[in-house]
Each structure stands twice: as structure tokens, then as C-alpha cells.
Structure 1
Amino acid sequence: MERLIHLIETMKPMFEKVSYNSYLRAIRDGFVSCIPVVLFSSMFILVACVPNIFGYVWPENISQLLWKAYNYSMGILAVLMVATIAKSLTDNFNNLLPKLRQINSVSVMIVSICCFLLLSVESIKGGFSSEYMGTKGLLSAFVVAFIIPNIYKFCVKNNITIKMPDEVPHNISQTFADLIPLAVSVLFFWLVSIFFKDLVGMGFSAWILEVFKPLFTAADGYIGVAIIYGAMAMFWFIGIHGPSIVEPAVTAIYIANIEANLNLFQAGEHATNVLTHGTSYFVATLGGTGATLMFAAMCAFIAKSKQLRAVGKTSIVPVLFAVNEPILFGAPLVLNPVFFVPFICVPILNVWLFKFFIENLGMNGFVYILPWTTPGTLGLILGTGFAKLSFLLAPLLLFVDTVIYYPFFKVYDKQLLAKEIENNGEIQAKNLGAVQALTAAGKQSVVQAAVSENADQQLSVLVLCASGATSSMLAKSISKGAKQKGVNMDSIAMAYGQHKEKINDFDLIVLAPQMASMYDELKHDCDAEGTKSATTSGKEYVELTRNPEAALNFALKVIYEN
């Protein structure tokens, strides 16, 4: 097992390069930007459809109003995502371009929408067909969103532009500078739309769905879901945020399947698609990647080791809402050979069990999209439209996860207990050394100096992670420490990518350890704006979230001493 862990760890640089891929990140960031739209529309669907389950049907006029909110939000998701993905990719390109020769991201967004409509949407009497503006047009949206920024990048790098006299204001000059890449993009997709339909006999969006249909089918099979959720867990096991790598590649499948399930459900048919956001949130990652909910409960309530019991009590509430970094780094589970087998296998077994219920027992798959922080068992019941079998599956998943994790938990608990007894019941200093150093003699002077010499200075700290959930724990800890010590400091959390245009608003930006592969990019951006940056190890990060004074010391040390 140790050799296997070492082999996987040696592959970490390659996995980090994959996570750094601009196109995967663009899909992820583009979808993150659209999550409020998806959740907003889903709330209307819940209101419109859930009463039907209990025999109540809304009057026709009320039903139409509820569905209108859905159709004009989720129904144009591809139009929204082509713009957000193109902007994200443009921002990534701009990081590598000179400051005085940047791509106009607003122009890219506008042109991407135009080109997507040209390529994918048919004209009908009185307007446009909406068939491919929603989830069915996502693959086309990806293609357009990848190509347009590259056309702009080529023109900007090679200075292909209409140059105006120096006397012309910059905003007017920028309009003409964007004209050539705009024209090239629109003409390109206009010609493609004309010739493609003549050659293939169908629109591009319809064709690309046919091409990828075998992939969608394969991904929804037992082997497909095992690869997808096993990969997510494996990446996280070596300390890389797995969903950031895997989910962008299957986002289109997730959304297409949830739409198909909803349509089947509304028609009174069996919703058979397995691979959806809900499957990821409330089945495979029940309590977070690795399906750690029941492991955290065991640590909190039956562990004999002081370390595991303390970590479990601290982690159980966040894990209930699928924020499991405290248990991943605190136990730790990351790179811990004892937990390699359950951490990889439990998510796969959970999804296989869910698939068995759908295919063999007639249970519906997920028909609604819910926030990923919804407690897992509740999310399973709500997301499947109160499927009767979900009330059986939910406790069964908890039982199976407990049975699989329990022997590994007992082995590790026994190991830690023996070490604690050997060390007079003390938790090993190495687990807390990094943070203890921050509060050791001499470090307190950092806080005192900050309070006395910079009492009137307002400090701002930003903490980043993949989704803004884990980072909020450290942000709150820093703010709490500042309040306790009278330091004029605010701290907030964001998802990585949301900070791009706000870097110079902060004195310090801290990157969570699971996003460490992005630190070089973050440091480059921060250095350009004169903002301090830092990242931490997993154990240090978890301890900082528990110790507000140490969290404050950490932030002040980076701001004033580096």
C-alpha cells in the first residue's frame, strides 16, 4: 500500500498540470458564475412540481408563471454559459499577456453570444427557436467559448487591429481595436453554420449531441461512474481538489441528464439517468469527497484517540454540509495509507448502489438541482422528487459507509491511541508544530506592533478555495481573532477565479491547500498589484480555522514581516 501511495504521489505534478488547464478551469469558473441562475430556476421547479407528488396541481395560470421563470433562466443556460466560459478563458489568457495589450473580455462575451446563436439556434417565424439555448446547447457553447478567445488572442498578440490617431479617446480606440477580431469571429461562425448544415444535414448542436451520445451513455454506466467518482477521490487523496479537475469534463452530461430526468418525471415516466449534480453531491460525496460523513461521526462520538475525537467534534457540523476539509487534513485522510481503500471505494459503491436502485427497483434519478451544501440525505430525498425508495436508500448509504469505514477507523484510532499513551497522552507535536510556531514567543509582537503602529489602518484579507466554503472557515477565524485583539482587519472568502478583478482591494490573499497548484498564478497576479499572498499546509490550515489568534498572527506575519 505504501508503494502504491508513493506511486500516486509521484504523479501529483502531472495531475496539478491537468488542474491548471485553462479550458477545464474556464468551464468550471463559467459554471460557478451560472450557479445562482441554476439554483434560482430550480427553486421555481420545486414549487411547481413538488405539490404534484402529494396530489395537488397548481391552477394552469399559476403553473405557467412558475415555468416561465424556469424557461427564461435554465432555458437559456447555454447562452449564459458561452459568455461566462469565454470570459473566464479570456481572463486566463490576459494573465499571460502584457498589461498594455489585453483582450477585451466584454467584447469577447458579446461576440460569443452572437456566434453561439449563429451556430446553434435556428430562426423561426417571429424570432429564434429555443431548443438549443438551454442544456441541449451546452456542448456547442463550449466549442464557441473556446474558439472566440483564441481568435481575439491571435489578433491581439499579432497587433492585428485598426489603429486610431493618438488624439482619439481610449474607449473609442478600443471599439475599433475590437472590430477585426469581432468581424473574423462572426464571419467564421456564420460560414460554418451555413456549410455545416448543407454538408451534414443538421445543425451543429444536434450533430455534436449525436457524436457524444455514446460517451454520455458510457459515462452513465457502472464503469463510467466508477472512473468519474474514483478519480475525484483519488485526486483529493493526494491533496488536489478532485472535482475541479473531473467535474468540468462532465458538466455537460450532468446538466443534460438532469434536464432529461425532469422531462421524464413530468411525463410520468421513469427518470433513469444516474450521472447528475445530485449524484455527486448527495450520493458519491455524502459529507464531502470520500463520502466522509459517517467517518466524521465515528471520530466525534466513538473515537478513543484524543486527536480523532477532537477533529471529529470540530468537523462534524461542516461535514454535514459537505465541507470536509477539516476532517481530510485534520485526521488526516489525505495521503494516509490506512484510508486509501475506503476513501476511493466508498464513493464508487454508493453510486453503484444508487444505480442499482434506479435500474432494478424503479427509483427515479435526480430531477432537481439543489445547493451542494444541502445535508446529504435530505438532498437525496428532495432531489429525487420524494421518491419512496429514497427514504430507504438514504439510511442504507449511511449504514454501508459506516460498515466500510469502521475497520479502517478502528485500526487508525488504535494506532493514534497507542502513540498518545506513549507520549503521555499528548498529541504529537509535529501535527501542531507549524501553527504553534506562530503563537510562540516573539510572534505576539507582530500583533502588538500592528495594534500600536497601525491602529488606524484598515486591513483586508481574502481567503480563496475552490468553492468559497472551506475558505470561509479561515476567513471567519481571522476576523474573530482580529476582533478579539482589537486589530482593524476584515476577512472574507471567495471561490478561486472570483478574485481576479479585486486583487488590489486586499492586503493579503490566502490560498487554501487543496488549490495549491494555483499558487504560482495567484502570486504572479498579487505581485503585479502589490498585494501579499500566501498558502498553507493542510494541517496548518485546519488548525488556523480552530485558533483565531493563530489565524490573526498568520495573516499579520505575512502582511508585515514578508
Structure 2
Amino acid sequence: MEKLIACIEKRKPFFEKLSRNIYLRAIRDGFIAGMPVILFSTIFILLAYVPNAFGFFWPKSIESLLMKPYSYSMGILALLLAGTTAKSLTDSVNRKMEATNQINYMSTLLASMVGLLILAADPLDGGISLGFLGTKGLLTAFLAAFVTVGIYKVCIKNNVTIRMPEEVPPNISQVFKDVIPFTASAMSLYLLDLCSRQFIGTGVAEAVGKVLAPLFSAADGYVGITLIFGAYAFFWFVGIHGPSIVEPAIAAITYANIDANLALMQAGEHADKVLTSATQMFVVTMGGTGATLVVPFMFMWLCQSKRNKAIGRASVVPTFFGVNEPILFGAPIVLNPIFFVPFILAPIVNVWILKIFVDVLGMNSFTTNLPWVTPGPIGIVLAANLQWLAVVLALLLILVDIVIYYPFVKVYDEQILEEERSGKHNDQLKEKVAAHFNTSKADAVLEKAGLDLKGENASLAGKNHLADGEMQYSDKGSLEDKSENSQADGEGLELSPESKAITKETHVLVLCAGGGTSGLLANALNKVAKEKNLPLKAVAGSFGAHREILPEFDLVVLAPQVASNYVDMKEETDRLGIKLAKTEGAQYIKLTRDGKAALDFIKEQLN
């Protein structure tokens, strides 16, 4: 087993590079930007169809009223994501463009949306067909975004634009600068649509669906779901951020299947699509990647070692809400050969059981998107509209996962008990985990619970390094990055006493993958600034959503999860004359816990 893990680790650079691919990132960021639309639409699905579980059915007129907001939010999701994906890709491309010759992301956003309408919408009397503007058109949305930004890049980079005299106001000049690339991208997509109708007999969106239908069908079968979710857990186990690779590749299928299931249920037919976003969040990753919901309870109630009991108690609440880093890194489970089999097997068995419930027992599959922080068993029941079979499924999955994990937990507990008796501890595994993952959040949770991380229980904090591909909060599908082992500029925390005081208004932006971990450092800085009455204001943000506010700041600090973006980020900050610093795991933990050290670090970067 250790040889297999080592073999995969050798190939990490390739998978890490793949996870940072700008096209995969554009899809990921496009979905993140569109998440409010998805969650908004969920409200109306729950209102419309959850009462069915109690034998109450709305009159058709009321059902139509409830479904109208859904139809004009989720029903045009592809149109919206065409724009957000194009915007994200434009931002990535602009990093490599000259500062004085950038692509206008608002123009690519609009051009991509127009392009999708050309590819996916058919004229009707009195309107247009919306069939492929929703989840069925997601792949076409990505195609429109990629083609649009690619054409804009060629035109802008080679100055194939209409250039106006210097006397013309910049906003007017920008309009004319965008005319040629906008026209070229829209007409290219229109030509593609005409060719599709001529040679295939349908529009591009429908043609894409027909071509990929066998793949969609295979992905929804036993072999497909095994490969997809097996890879999801396997990559994560060996320190590669599998969700960044797997999720963008299957996102179009999972969200389209949710809509397909809803349409089938509305028609009174069997909703039989298993590969959905809810499957990923609540069945496969129930309690986080590896289906670890039951593990903290087992550590707490079934283990005899003091260390495992303490880790279990500290991990129960976060894992219940899908944030399972404390148990993953505290035990540790990842990179631990003892847990390799259950970590990979439990998610696969879970999704097999779901498929049996759907295909054999006739349970309707999931029809509702819910926030990923919804506890797994509750998410299963709600996403399946309170079917009684869904309740049975949730309870059965808990029981099965206990059976899968039990022998491995007992073996590991015996190992830790022996370490406690002998006084010798396996620091090698802990150091390996710390070298591959950002364990800062897990360390903070465990330390708060009273575990002596630097003593004989779990020495993690002082050895914390980062590896590419790390998730910022939950490994449950948040689609977020880790950083490389990296040192900050002026990393040493014993800073010069001659550091200048902050006397003028200073704004610091701390960026992480999702705006969570960055809040730890921002809060520490704001607290010490208030105590010392300094004109310093720190703000937390997420990488990818920072570009519009960047000019307002004097210094940007990259949290460990996004430190691998330092080179790309430096191109942006250099253009604006903003200072940039990156941090690594152990250093970042100390900065968040020591306000004076955090302030000295900021002074050093500013000077």
C-alpha cells in the first residue's frame, strides 16, 4: 500500500498542474459565482414538492407560481454561467497580457452570453426556446466562453481593433475597441451553429447532448460512478486535490441530472439519474471526502486511547457539517496506510447503495440542490423531497460506513495505545501529512479543544507545511486550491525593531481560497490595530473574487491555500504598485494567533 501511495505521489506535479489549468479554474469559478442562483432556486423546489411527502399537492396554478422563480433562475443557468465563466477565464488570460492592453471582461461576459443564445436558443412565435439555456446547455456555455475569450485574446493581443484618437474619452474608445472581437466571436459561434444545423441537423447545444449522451449514460452506471468517486477520494488521500480535477469535469452532468430528475418527477415518472450534485455532497462525501461522518463518533466512543478519544470529540461537530480536516489530519487518516481501504471504499459503497435504492427499490433520485454544509443525512432526506426511502437510505449508509471503518479504526487504536504505553510516537506520518496538506485549520480546531499539539499527543502545528491542491475549508466539493511549500517574503518572524510605525491609512487584503481562513489573519490584524490605535484596516477575501477591489489596498497577503498563485498575483499587484506577500502553514498559524507578530509582519512587508 505504501508503495502504491509513493507511486502516485511521484505523479503529483502533473495532477497539480492539471488542477491549476485555467479552463478548469474558469468552470469552477463560474459555478462559484453562480451558486447564489442555484441556492435561490432551491427554495422554490422545496416549497413546491416537499409537501408531496405528506400527501399534499399544490393546485397546478399554485405550483406554476412557485416554479416561475425556479424557471427564470435555474432555468437560465447556462446563460448566466456562460458569462461568469468567460469573466473568470478573461481574468486568467489578462495576467499574461500587457498591462496597457487588457481584455475587457465585461465585453467577453456579454459576448459569451450572446454566443450561447446563438448556439442554444431557437426562435418561436412570440419568443425563444429556453430548453438549452438551463442545465442542459452547460457544456455549450463553456464552449461559448472558451471560444469567445480565445478570439478576444487574439484580437486584443494583435491590436485587431478599432483605435480612436486620444481626444476620445476612454469609455467611448473601449466600446470601439471591443467591436471587432465581439463581432468576430459572435459570428464564429453563429457559423458553428449553421454548420451544425447543416451537417448534423440540430443546433450546437442539442448536438453536444446527442454526441455525449453515451458518456453521460456510462457516467451514471456502476462503473462510471465507481471511477469518478473513487478517483475523487483516492487523489485526496495522497495529497492531490481531486475535486479541482474531477468536479469541473462532471459539473455539467451533475447539475443537468438534477434538472432531469425534477422534470421526470413532475411528469409522474421515475427520477433515475444517480450522478447528481446532491449525490456528491451528501452520499459520497457524507461528512467530507472519504465518507467520514461516522469516524469521529467511532474515535470518541469506541477507541480506548486517550489521544483518539480527544481527536474524536474535537472533530465531531465540524465533520457533521462536512468540514472533516480535524479528523483527516488529526488522526491522521490521509496518507495513513491503515485507512486507505475504507477511505476509498466507503464513498464507492455509499453510491452503489444509492443506485440500488433508485434502480431496484424505485426511490426517486435527488431533485434539489442544497448548500454543501448541510449535514449529510439531512441533505439526503431533503434533496430527495422527504421520501421515506431516503430516510432509510440515510440510516443504512451510516450503518454501512460504521461496518466498513470499524476494523480499521480498531487496528489504528491498538497502534496508538501501544505508542501511549511505550511513550514512543510516530511523528514520521504526522510530518508527512503536514508536508502534503495545509493542516492549519485542523490544528486550530484541535488546539481549541485542548489537545497539546506540540506535546506527546499530536505534534502538528510546528511542522505545518503546504502542498499544492489543498482545500481551504471543506474537501466536500468546494473546488478550491492548496499552495506549494513556500516561504513568504521576509518570512522570519523575528523582525527588525526598527520597523517603521504605521502612521497613514493602510489597507491590507488577505486572500485565501474561500474567504474563511483569510478571516483569521484579518481579524488578528484588526484587533491589534484597534488596541494600538493604528490606522490599519484588514479585509478578508477569496482568490478570484478580488480583482475589482484590488486597487483599494496597499498590501495583499496570500494565505497558504493560495500561495501557489503568487507569480500570477504578482503580475497584478506590480501593475498597480501594490505590495504582495505570501505565507506558509506554520508561519500563518503563528500570525493568526499572535497579533504583535502579525503586525510586525505587515510592517516588514510595507517597508
Instruction: Identify whether the pair has TM-score above 0.5, normalized to the shorter chain.
Output: yes
The alpha carbon displacement at 1:305 in A equals 4.0
1:186-225 residue pairs with structure 2 within 5 A? Answer: 186-225=186-225
Residues 296, 372 of structure 1: alpha-carbon distance in 2 compared, 3 angstrom cutoff: same
465, 470, 475: which is aligned to 2:519? 475
**Please, which moves more after superposition, 272-281 or 180-189?**
180-189
Shift of 1:141: 1.1
1:206 to partner: Cα distance: 1.1
Contact 2:161 2:178 in 1 (8 A): yes
Give the conservation status (yes or no) of the 8 Å contact 1:161–1:179. Answer: yes
Distance, in Å, in 1 between the alignment partners of 2:335 and 2:503 is 43
- Equivalent in 477, 490, 499 of residue 546 of structure 2: 499
Matched, 1:433 2:462: yes
Identity level (%): 46
Summarize the Cα distance change of 1:414–1:522 in structure 2 as closer, same or farther, 3 Å threshold.
farther
CA deviation vs aligned residue, 1:464-510 (integer Å, no higher than 9, x gap): 12xx2xx5256247626864893667666544422233345553433
Equivalences for 1:262-273 in 2 at 5 Å? 262-273=262-273
For residue 288 of structure 1, what is the amino acid of its counterpart?
Answer: G
Matched, 1:560 2:607: no
**Cα pair distance change 1:409/1:205, threshold 3 Å:** same
Q: How far 1:519 moved relative to its partner?
A: 4.8
| 8 Å Cα contact 1:19-1:244 kept in structure 2 | yes
Matched, 1:549 2:578: no
Q: Which residue, out of 556, 559, 568, partners 1:521?
A: 568
Q: CA shift at 1:92, angstroms?
A: 0.8
Check 1:13–1:170 CA distance in 2 against 1; reply closer, same or farther (3 A cut): same
For residues 406 and 449 of structure 1, what CA distance do their matches in structure 2 show?
A: 57
What is aligned with 1:440? none
Q: Give the whole-Å Cα distance in 2 for the aligned partners of 1:105 and 1:245.
A: 25
- Cα shift at 1:408: 2.2
2: CA distance, partners of 1:15 / 1:64: 46
After superposition, what is the alpha-carbon deviation per residue over 1:79-106, rounded to whole angstroms, capped at 9, x for unaligned? 1011111111111101111111111110
Q: 1:55 to 1:492 in 2, by over 3 A?
A: farther
Match of 1:510 among 554, 558, 569: 558
Task: Give the structure 1 partner of residue 582 of structure 2.
Answer: 534
Counterpart of 2:516, as a letter, is: S
CA pair 444-260 structure 1, distance change in 2 beyond 3 A: closer
Deviation larger for 20-29 or 291-300 = 291-300
In the alignment, the residues of structure 1 paired with residue 583 and residue 347 of structure 2 have an alpha-carbon distance, to the nearest angstrom, of 29
CA separation in 1, counterparts of 2:383 and 2:459?
43
Shift of 1:526: 4.8
Q: 1:166 maps to what in 2?
A: 166
Deviates more, 1:527-536 or 1:258-267: 527-536
- Contact kept, 8 Å, 2:234 with 2:344, in 1: the verdict is yes
Select the structure that is richer in helix: 1
- 1:183 maps to what in 2? 183
How do residues 9-408 of structure 1 correspond to structure 2 at under 5 angstroms?
9-408=9-408
Equivalent-residue separation in structure 2 for 1:504 and 1:35 (angstroms): 26
* Structure 1 residues 220 and 34: alpha-carbon distance in aligned structure 2, compared to 1, 3 A threshold: same
State whether residues 229 and 348 of structure 2, in contact with CA within 8 Å, keep that contact through their aligned partners in structure 1: yes
> How many angstroms apart in 2 are the aligned matches of 1:324 and 1:282?
13
Q: Residues 160 and 456 from structure 1, CA distance in 2 versus in 1: closer, same or farther, beyond 3 angstroms?
A: closer
Look up the equivalent residue of 2:242 and give its one-letter code: G
Counterpart secondary structure, 2:582 = strand
Secondary structure of residue in 2 paired with 1:462: strand
Q: Equivalents in 2 of 1:446, 1:510: separation in Å?
A: 19
Counterpart-to-counterpart distance in 2, 1:99 and 1:279: 44
Give the alignment's TM-score, normalised by structure 1.
0.89
Between stretches 380-389 and 291-300, larger displacement belongs to: 291-300
1:108: Cα distance to partner? 0.5
Determine if contact 1:510/1:534 at 8 Å carries over to the other structure: yes
State whether residues 463 and 512 of structure 1, in contact with CA within 8 Å, keep that contact through their aligned partners in structure 2.
no
| Paired position in structure 1 for 2:429 | none
The change in CA–CA distance for 1:428 and 1:391 in structure 2 (over 3 A counts) is: closer
SS class of match (1:182): helix
Gaps of 5+ in 1: 437-442
1:208 Cα deviation (Å)?
A: 0.9
SS in structure 1 of the partner of residue 557 of structure 2: strand
Q: Deviations over 1:259-317 (max 9, x none)?
A: 11111112222111100000000000001111111112223444444443443333322
Query: 1:450-461, aligned counterparts within 5 Å?
Result: 453-454=501-502, 460-461=508-509
Is contact 1:460-1:505 (8 Å) kept? no
1:246 positional shift: 0.6
Q: Does the 8 A contact of 1:475 with 1:491 survive in 2?
A: no
Hey, what's the Cα distance between the residues in 2 that align with 1:463 and 1:304? 41
Report the counterpart of residue 413 of structure 1 in structure 2: 413
- Whether the aligned pair in 2 keeps the contact of 1:277 and 1:369 (CA below 8 Å) is yes
Aligned partner of 1:464 in structure 2 is: 512
- The answer to whether the 8 A contact 2:53-2:387 is kept is no
Q: Secondary structure at the match of 2:41?
A: helix
Distance, in Å, in 2 between the alignment partners of 1:296 and 1:540 is 28
Q: CA deviation at 1:447?
A: 12
Closer, same or farther in 2 for the Cα pair 1:383/1:61, shift >3 Å? same
C-alpha deviation, 1:393, in angstroms: 1.3
Distance 1:197 1:445, change over 3 A: closer
Mapped contact 2:510–2:521 kept (Cα < 8 A): no
Q: Residues 458 and 168 from structure 1, CA distance in 2 versus in 1: closer, same or farther, beyond 3 angstroms?
A: closer
* Displacement after TM superposition at 1:432 (Å): 3.0
SS at the partner of 1:3?
helix
Q: Does the 8 Å contact 2:119/2:193 carry over to 1?
A: yes
The letter of the residue matching 2:175 is T
Count of matched residue pairs:
547
Distance in 2, matches of 1:371 and 1:448, equals 47
Describe the shift of the 1:429–1:342 C-alpha distance in structure 2 as closer, same or farther (beyond 3 A).
Answer: closer
Unaligned runs of 5+ in 2: 426-454, 466-491
CA distance 1:435–1:369, change in 2 (3 Å): closer
Tell me, in whole angstroms, the C-alpha distance in 2 between the residues paired with 1:548 and 1:118.
50
